[in-house]
Structure 1
């Protein structure tokens, strides 16, 4: 993998860690980094061995500072539009991964950095972490999904308040408003959120892989429609689990009082 994004196995089969490592620029989203992210995410789409993806920073004290403003200042306006479209598409690809995704926010996540985290299914942050969609300070708006995912996460009125004010919140406040699922005290190594994210990922591993994928699909699609349509989506997704070998294995394991051995089939 190219510098800037390092997929790795974290010592646990099925868990893949994507680590931002652009330390000289606080993991700011450059053209090259977005390109590398897109390649990394694309490689995970059809990999049946991947069960959960954890997104973290390898740079202490920073998750992602947002767009690379030094690079942005050198762009023509047409280049800016193209870059933002590419970044939005890449973050959408992350959101649409078929397996659970967890953002481990051990430092600052601003602008596009928070939009990256919002595209993950679950967010974990250190209490000292700083998060915010600060684009209005630069006379622009969040352009990689922030105006859509933040209100879906914390509610319309509060999302408007945070975007209009460009306010930055810490981990404790982020937890209180529902922006993150878990807040942890930072440790000496500076990776408390990452460790909590790995613990969550390990909770997901024993479950049926097919079930996990269609459960995510049912939730994601169902949240965009009315209840009646959502229930129909759930029914269609449930039907996909019935003919699987894993379903039979789950019943046998229950009968034999042993842990199931799922293969994603």
Structure 2
């Protein structure tokens, strides 16, 4: 296994071929958690994609068993201790503002900001076996990255409230016929399903794709902006509390340490490490 900080091993890669871009989060040692270095690579790839004129659609993918573990422990402590402002982490906004549509191929589990990063895409494919949840409150602070708006947008206000307050991890099968996602399929079929969906866009004119993307993404962009304003205010209160820092140190755990095959069942709350 490669070391997470090996400069010769990119943690995020971007490929563009025949009009289809693939943004691949592949930091296995770091569990695709949003560390400072990982975020810098991710933002750099999104910046490259935003300036590319050939791509017509982008598939956003993670690891087979883990899409993203959300914010890493050090970054959360930086937020709690005032070394990083909430608005310094603008992954969600940058993803929404890409000029072409994005498809989240969420093969693996996704937690907290990692889940919201996927749900910020224009189309979403989930895996029946993988687990999805928002664990912010277990760490002592209110949700961030636009979660309070985008999660309601994706799964409805009541299920979103259950996820945010209770911090349950639900299997993808729980979201079938409940969530506003494109498909929930077997994990082994998620990436192929996303690529097949992307292929249908490649014969469309790029200028028309850009226009439609801007219009269809507007409600999510507005929900994100409203949510982030309120979330920033709530974070100022939460991160000023010593209990928050204590909870992050005590309760933070990497999702990959508790694989879906042996982890909680739908609706169960995972135990902190």
Tell me how far 1:129 sits from its aligned partner: 1.3
Tell me how far 1:205 sits from its aligned partner: 1.1
Q: TM-score, normalised by structure 1?
A: 0.75
The verdict on how the C-alpha distance between 1:85 and 1:60 changes in structure 2, with shifts beyond 3 A counting, is same
1:51/1:205 contact within 8 Å kept: yes
- Is it true that 1:194 corresponds to 2:191 in the alignment? yes
- Is it true that 1:63 corresponds to 2:67 in the alignment? yes
Tell me how far 1:153 sits from its aligned partner: 2.1
Query: What secondary structure does 1:92 align onto?
Result: helix
The verdict on how the C-alpha distance between 1:25 and 1:2 changes in structure 2, with shifts beyond 3 A counting, is closer
Q: Which residue of 1 aligns with 2:28?
A: 23
CA–CA distance in structure 1, aligned partners of residues 209 and 195 of structure 2: 17
Q: TM-score, normalised by structure 2?
A: 0.73
Tell me how far 1:223 sits from its aligned partner: 6.9
More helix per residue? 1
Higher relative contact order (CA 8 A, sep 6+): 2
1:2/1:36 contact within 8 Å kept: no
Q: 2:40 aligns with which of 29, 35, 43?
A: 35
CA–CA distance in structure 2, aligned partners of residues 172 and 130 of structure 1: 9
Q: Which residue of 1 aligns with 2:174?
A: 173
Q: Which residue of 1 aligns with 2:208?
A: 211
Tell me how far 1:16 sits from its aligned partner: 0.8
Q: Which residue of 2 aligns with 1:45?
A: 50
2:135/2:167 contact within 8 Å kept: yes
More deviation in 153-162 or 12-21? 153-162
Q: 1:78 aligns with which of 73, 79, 82?
A: 82
Tell me how far 1:196 sits from its aligned partner: 0.8
Tell me how far 1:3 sits from its aligned partner: 1.8
Gaps spanning 5+ residues in structure 2: where?
1-7, 223-273
CA–CA distance in structure 2, aligned partners of residues 179 and 70 of structure 1: 33
1:114/1:131 contact within 8 Å kept: yes
Query: What secondary structure does 1:23 align onto?
Result: coil
Summarize deviations over 1:64-83 as a string: whole Å, max 9, x none. 0111125544776112x42x
Q: Looking at CA atoms only, which structure, 1 or 2, has the larger radius of gyration?
A: 1
More deviation in 90-99 or 150-159? 150-159
Q: Which residue of 1 aligns with 2:251?
A: none
User: CA RMSD of the aligned region, Å?
Assistant: 2.1
The verdict on how the C-alpha distance between 1:212 and 1:177 changes in structure 2, with shifts beyond 3 A counting, is same
Query: What secondary structure does 2:15 align onto?
Result: strand
1:118/1:146 contact within 8 Å kept: no
- Is it true that 1:4 corresponds to 2:11 in the alignment? yes
Query: What secondary structure does 2:208 align onto?
Result: helix
Tell me how far 1:180 sits from its aligned partner: 2.6
Query: What secondary structure does 1:78 align onto?
Result: coil
CA–CA distance in structure 1, aligned partners of residues 9 and 54 of structure 2: 22
